[in-house]
Structure 1
Amino acid sequence: MEKLWKVKFRNVGRGYFPQSRVECHYSLSAQHAWANCDWIGLFKVGWSSLRDYHTFVWALAPANYTEGTNVNCCVHFQASYLPRPGQDEYQFVYVDGTGEVCARSAQFSFCAPKPLDELVTLEQERDGDEEGGDILLVVPRAELLQSRLEECLRERAEFLQAREEEERRLKSEQEVREGAEQTWEKARDGLESQVTDLKEKLRQNTEELQSLEDKLQKGQSSLEAVTTERDSLLAERAQSQQRIRELEDDIKALRQRGLETESEVEKMKERVKKMSMQRRDEEEEKKSLQTETEAALGEQRCLRGRLDSSTRSVEALRAELSDMAAQRDHAQAELHQARLQAAQLTLQLADAGLALREGRASWAQDREALRNGAEMDRERVQKLSREVQRKEEWLQEERTEREKVEAELGKERDRNRVQLGEVRRELQDLRASLREVHKEKERNLLEKQHLMEYIRQLEQRLETVADAKWSEAALNASSRPSSPFISSEDENPEALQTSHPSGKLVTYTLCSPPEPEMLLFPGDVQSQRQVVISQPGPVSSPRQPEDDTLPHSSESEGEEQEVGHSGSQSCEEETALLLPDHRSTIFSELADSPLW
């Protein structure tokens, strides 16, 4: 099982150039406790002790580093302390202050680039009018990398412009969204105020309905009280009518008894008259009959007692009759008052029934109106709730779209960082290749100086040979003036030149001197020659891809501009130095030099 390191090395390549500094990228995890005495050593593969390091640097951390967080760091190994190129494998080792190994990197080696490795062969198609196939172009790898770098920078500028446009678009969308949110907030506040007003109206209507129900209950209770009072009054009225009937019956009985007593009094009067007549007769007879008088006196006394008693009874009956008449008058007055009260109660009952009917009708209308208002308020509240739900769904969709756009921007930012890291690595390779190109340029300058010296020597030799030939030709002309060969030479000086086979391939190197035939006979300059340059493939140093890359700093941008400027200036010189045309230089100097 692979050990879990607390520190992780990133972007470790398979090969480095010892002529340039080496960047070491690493990440500190949250489990690692960084200290000032932590260091990173360059060890040869197969080391057994921490003292076997080739060189080391102190492990640095950012200024805002806090313990317990993940952070990316970078250190530099200077070129003067790096090992020489070779087949040995090396690796980075992170060691903390206690001497514990916290991480090991992948293995890599140091190799020196070859001069011809910096050349790249390209094929370019010819125009349709020309005959033949494609053209084989030999281009310096620095120029190719420079063009690729320019394309990458152009793409980076386009990406940055697109990013700025996207940010502006997002900003405008955010402003529009904020305006929409503000309008929605205002609309929601208005709707909430309307809802509160409707709730207040509903509460007031409910209170009014409750008060109307209370009034209705009070009216019903008062109606019940009036009904009970009416029933009691009707019962009292029935009782009073019954009493009146009884009193009328009593009055009738009393009248009957009065009539009877009057008839009895009349009878008694008649009897008294008869008795008085009898008394007279008896007095008359008294005189005649004394015995009968005494009897009559006794009988008279009895009759007088009976008359007194009857008189007293008549007076009692008269008093009772007057009392009965008074009672009858009082009963008639009470009956009249009861009739008036019953009529008033009937009118009040009719008014109360009418008011009750009107109250019921108005209450039914108010209840229907309140019910309709409550239904409308309920529908309005439902509409408002649906509108609020739609607004919330719209806001949720806007949030999801915003999160998607932010995720896409994050991915685009990561891709840009990865591309910038690749461009930076290519820039590092380009710097190393440019250093090699500068060295090759110096070597070519030295070769050119040697070649110029060799050309001067050849010129001197040519001058001496030409002087000797012209002197010999002058001597021959003076000795044999009629020679046809001399005349032919004067007429056609090119006959002295030797022909060179045109179909032969001439191979040469940068350091090999030109042949004397090429220098002595300029007539073959116009003949076409084929040049074959054997070139091995370029050595690439692939790197391990990592997700975390450092951002492109301003220092690297300045170095890119400097490298691009120097590369564009030295491109033509390098091409001229790598493929020099010795014949054209020699022939131009021979053409400029005088033959006499």
Structure 2
Amino acid sequence: MEESSLSRAPSRGGVNFLNVARTYIPNTKVECHYTLPPGTVPSASDWIGIFKVEAACVRDYHTFVWSLVPESVTDGSPIHASVQFQASYLPKPGAQLYQFRYVNRQGRVCGQSPPFQFREPRPMDELVTLEETDGGSDILLVVPKATVLQNQLDESQQERNDLMQLKLQLEGQVTELKSQVQELEKALAAARQEHAELAEQYKGLSRSHGELTEERDILSRQQGDHVARILELEEDIQTISEKVLMKEVELDRVRDTVKALTREQEKLLGQLKEVQADKEQSEAELQMAQQENRRLNLELQEAKDRQEEQSAQAQRLKDKVAQMKDTLGQVQQRVAELEPLKEQLRGAQELAASSQQKAALLGEELASAAGARDRTIAELHRSRLEVAGVNGRLAELSLHLKEEKSQWSKERAGLLQSVEAEKDKILKLSAEILRLEKAVQEEKTQSQVFKTELAREKDSSLVQLSESKRELTELRSALRVLQKEKEQLQEEKQELLEYMRKLEARLEKVADEKWSEDPATEDEEAAVGLSCPAALTDSEDESPEDMRLPPYGLCESGDPGSSPATGPREASPLVVISQPAPIAPQLSGPAEDSSSDSEAEDEKSVLMAAVQSGGEEANLLLPELGSAFYDMAR
């Protein structure tokens, strides 16, 4: 197989095919790697097909597989994916060029790969020439490509193991640093807790001092309030006493007024009785006048008929009526004069009632003022006692406050010193934590860099591993082909060996018959055999090739009676075992045997000639049989 060529596919629609080889083995599955550009949304309806290069329609595919939709897709980054074509669906080997094409769900071709072929592997395709410089001399080594790839894979694996060990060491260091940071954080938390406890104690002392100060201020204010209250109560007592005296004087005056009003009321009641009697009398007269008026009206009604006769009498009656009217007007005037007297009497009654109520209220107020005065005197006495107790307690609290203040000042000085020491410790711990955080950040950055390098190395190792697997598969296929060829050569070797044994048996038989018939010839040949080694020994320095035995010729006719050559280069033809003429009819058997024997002789002569000519082609073609034939030729 030709050397693999890894290249990127020309972009059509943005899809790139990676690691596309020039040739693929037909009976092995093919793995296709491709990259979708950023922004492309993969779909389960997209597919990758193997097309002929000259195919113009998406339906002219040879085989296809559905594309895989990745589980997680990152926006703005390319998507790497791969698919596999099964060996049973691949094209047959030949000179036809194929290419991968990516077809989306709309039936549009989004990318295609460089052309490639499907061919059977050849043994010499997987050899790689390496050049080594050792001591100033260039050495060319021909090694299998699988060995080179395996060495590269081992080196990558070793480098990956070293990086993993380095990563584990860094992780251990990071763990130790984290434990140190945790210990420092615990120490810092303990220091902060102790500082918080001291601060709480300081706050408690401050609160107690504030409470004592507030209590002292409250007691001082209460004392001032009590003194002011006592003064106010004394002023109120004096004011109430003056008011009581004024109320008593006013009460006496009101009593006199009530007596005068009572006498006036009695007078008004007498006048009212007289007016009522006059009114009753006037009312009786008025009733009588009304009755008489009604009677007169009746009489006037009766007298209208007798108007002419009684005009004088009517005049008298009119005068009498006028008199009655005057009397009635006087009565009404007297009744109108009695109305103001009624009003005055009603006002006098109301004034008397209000005076009585005022007197009752003044009595009640006087009683309440006397009770308030008694209560005020008792409260004043109690307040004086409380003020005396408060003064004693205030003196005790002042003494206790002075003691607490001195103790608090001492504790405050100690707390300030401890707080300063804790602040120094906290500053040191903060600086140490910052330094550790910086170191941890640097370690994280380095570990991130190492992770990135490991990921990159892993990706490259995976790609190389996939390539190595593919090439290993090709090598295995080539090895199977070589094994088949080797088996065929072994079979041919066995056939040749068997045929050579038969030939040797025949030659021995012919030689025995010949030697038995002509002992003289045998003596001559023995003499020739004794003289040939000396000649060959003398000629080794001149021509080493003359030491090789010439090929056996079964069809050559030699002169048995010829004399041996005197020169060293003429000795080799005398060693040839030639077949005598009388034996030729015996070796010519049936037609099939003679044809097979002639073919075997031709193959043997070709192999022997190849061995004698240098053995390079035989060693390349038959690495195991070449040495055997070469030894046989010697």
**What's the TM-score once normalised by structure 1's chain length?**
0.52
1:193 aligns with 193
Deviation at 1:57, TM superposition (A): 1.7
Residue in 1 that maps onto 2:519: 477
1:99 shift after superposition:
1.4
Shift of the 362–518 alpha-carbon distance from structure 1 to 2, 3 Å rule, reads closer
Q: Which residue of 1 aligns with 2:99?
A: 91
Distance 2:530 2:480 in 1: 52
Aligned AA (1:579) = P
1:579 matched to which residue of 2? 623
Deviation of 1:476 (Å): 3.3
After TM superposition, the structure 1 = structure 2 runs for residues 473-552 of structure 1, keeping only pairs within 5 Å, are 473-477=515-519, 485-486=524-525, 488-489=527-528, 502-503=544-545, 513-515=603-605, 530-532=614-616
Distance 2:208 2:63 in 1: 95
CA–CA distance in 2 between the matches of 1:87 and 1:376?
A: 92
Which amino acid in the other structure matches residue 146 of structure 2? L
CA-based RMSD: 5.3
User: Aligned in 2, Cα 1:470/1:138: closer, same or farther, shift over 3 Å?
Assistant: farther
Separation of aligned partners in 1, 2:11 and 2:484: 50
SS at match of 1:102: strand
Counterparts in 2 of 1:218 and 1:360: CA distance versus 1, 3 Å: farther
Q: Separation in 2 of the partners of 1:383 and 1:448? A: 89
Q: Is contact 1:205–1:370 with CA below 8 Å preserved after alignment? A: no
Match of 2:242 in 1: none
What one-letter code is carried by the residue in structure 2 that aligns with 1:48? A
Q: What corresponds to 1:338 in structure 2?
A: none
Q: Which runs of 5+ in 1 are unaligned?
A: 223-351, 520-524, 535-574, 592-596
| CA positional deviation for 1:441 | 2.8
Q: CA deviation at 1:372?
A: 6.7
In the TM superposition, residue 36 of structure 1 has moved relative to its aligned partner by: 3.6
Indicate the residue corresponding to 1:149 in structure 2: 150
SS at match of 2:544: coil
- Distance in structure 1 (CA, Å) of the matches to 2:408 and 2:167: 60
Q: Decide whether the 8 Å contact of 1:19 with 1:79 is kept in 2.
A: yes
Deviations 1:130-156 (A, max 9, x none): xxx9998765x2xx5247526634752
Report the 3-state secondary structure (helix = DSSP H, G, I; strand = E; otherwise coil) of the residue aligned with 1:50: coil
- 2:57 maps to what in 1? 49
State the alpha-carbon separation in 1 of the partners of residues 622 and 27 from structure 2.
22
**Helix, strand or coil for the counterpart of 2:59?**
helix
Determine whether 1:105 maps to 2:149: no
Secondary structure class of the residue paired with 2:519: helix
Shift of 1:458: 4.4
Once residues 204 and 12 of structure 2 are traced to their aligned partners in structure 1, the CA distance between those partners, rounded to angstroms, is 73
* 2:449 is the alignment partner of 1:441: no
Distance 1:138 1:147, change over 3 A: closer
Deviation at residue 13 of structure 1 after TM alignment: 3.4
Separation in structure 2 between the aligned mates of residue 375 and residue 19 of structure 1, nearest angstrom: 88
CA contact (8 A) 1:21 1:77 kept: yes
Q: 1:39 aligns with which of 34, 47, 52?
A: 47
Within 1, Cα distance between the matches of 2:18 and 2:37?
13
Counterparts of 1:362 and 1:9, CA distance in 2: 89
2: CA distance, partners of 1:67 / 1:364: 71
Structure 1 segment 60-459 matched on structure 2, within 5 A: 60-61=68-69, 64=71, 72-84=80-92, 89-120=97-128, 139=143, 141=144, 145-146=146-147, 148-149=149-150, 152-153=153-154, 156=157, 158-159=158-159, 161-162=161-162, 165-166=165-166, 168-170=168-170, 172-207=172-207, 370=412, 373-374=415-416, 376-378=418-420, 380-459=422-501
Instruction: Confirm or deny: 8 A CA contact 1:65 1:71 kept in the other structure.
Output: no
CA distance in 2, matches of 1:98, 1:67: 24
AA paired with 2:194? Q
CA distance in 1, matches of 2:602, 2:500: 14
- For CA contacts below 8 A with separation 6 or more, give which structure has more relative contact order: 1
For residues 380 and 205 of structure 1, the distance between their equivalents in structure 2, rounded to whole angstroms, comes to 20
What is the distance in 1 between the residues matched to 2:547 and 2:32?
A: 50
1:92 CA drift (Å) = 1.8
CA contact (8 A) 1:87 1:109 kept: yes
Q: Does the 8 Å contact 1:505/1:529 carry over to 2? A: no
Structure 1 pair 387–461 and aligned structure 2 pair: CA distance change class (3 A): closer
User: Cα 1:472–1:402, aligned 2, differ >3 Å: closer, same or farther?
Assistant: same
Contact 1:489/1:495, CA 8 A, preserved across alignment: no
Aligned length: 398
Equivalent position to 1:16, from 24, 27, 42? 24
Asked if 2 retains the 8 angstrom alpha-carbon contact of 1:195 and 1:381, the reply is no
Following TM superposition, by how much is the alpha carbon of 1:502 offset from its aligned partner in structure 2, in angstroms?
Answer: 2.9
Distance 1:530 1:586 in 2: 9
Aligned residue number for residue 336 of structure 1 = none
The alpha-carbon deviation at position 404 of structure 1 amounts to 1.6
Q: Which moved more, 1:401-410 or 1:70-79?
A: 70-79
In structure 1, what is the Cα distance between the partners aligned to 2:629 and 2:72? 64
Change (3 A) 1:404 1:136: closer
Deviation at 1:421, TM superposition (A): 2.3
Change (3 A) 1:58 1:205: same
2 CA distance for matches of 1:410 and 1:136? 38
Q: What is the CA distance between 1:50 and its match in structure 2?
A: 1.2
| Partner Cα separation in structure 2 for residue 512 and residue 61 of structure 1 | 64
Q: 1:504 to 1:406 in 2, by over 3 A?
A: farther
Cα deviation, 1:339-386, whole Å, max 9, x if unaligned, reads xxxxxxxxxxxxx9xx99999999699658736743652453353144
8 Å Cα contact 2:12/2:110 also seen in 1: no
Q: Which residue pairs with 2:391 in the alignment? A: none
Shift in Å, 1:195: 1.9
Partner Cα distance (1:505, 1:102) in 2: 72
User: TM-score under structure 2 normalisation?
Assistant: 0.49
**What secondary structure sits across from 1:51 in the alignment?**
coil
Measure, in 1, the Cα distance between the counterparts of 2:35 and 2:518.
90
Asked if 1 retains the 8 angstrom alpha-carbon contact of 2:51 and 2:100, the reply is yes
- Aligned residue identity for 2:444: R
Partner of 1:594: none
Report the Cα offset of residue 23 of structure 1. 0.5
Distance 1:204 1:382, change over 3 A: farther
Q: 1:87: how far off? A: 5.9
Matched residue type, 1:145: A
Provide the C-alpha distance between the structure 2 equivalents of 1:67 and 1:360, rounded to a whole number of angstroms. 75
Q: 1:358 to 1:120 in 2, by over 3 A?
A: closer
Q: 1:155 to 1:55 in 2, by over 3 A?
A: closer
| Secondary structure, counterpart of 1:400 in structure 2 | helix
Query: What do residues 186-235 of structure 1 show as CA deviations (whole Å, max 9, x unaligned)?
Result: 2122112112123223324544665787799999999xxxxxxxxxxxxx
How far does residue 167 in structure 1 lie from its aligned partner after superposition? 5.4
Give, in whole Å, the separation in 1 of the partners of 2:219 and 2:430: 45
Separation in structure 1 between the aligned mates of residue 52 and residue 123 of structure 2, nearest angstrom: 27
Q: Which has the larger radius of gyration?
A: 2
Letter in 2 for 1:201: Q
CA 1:487–1:47: 2 relative to 1, 3 Å: closer
Unaligned runs of 5+ in 2: 1-9, 223-394, 549-600
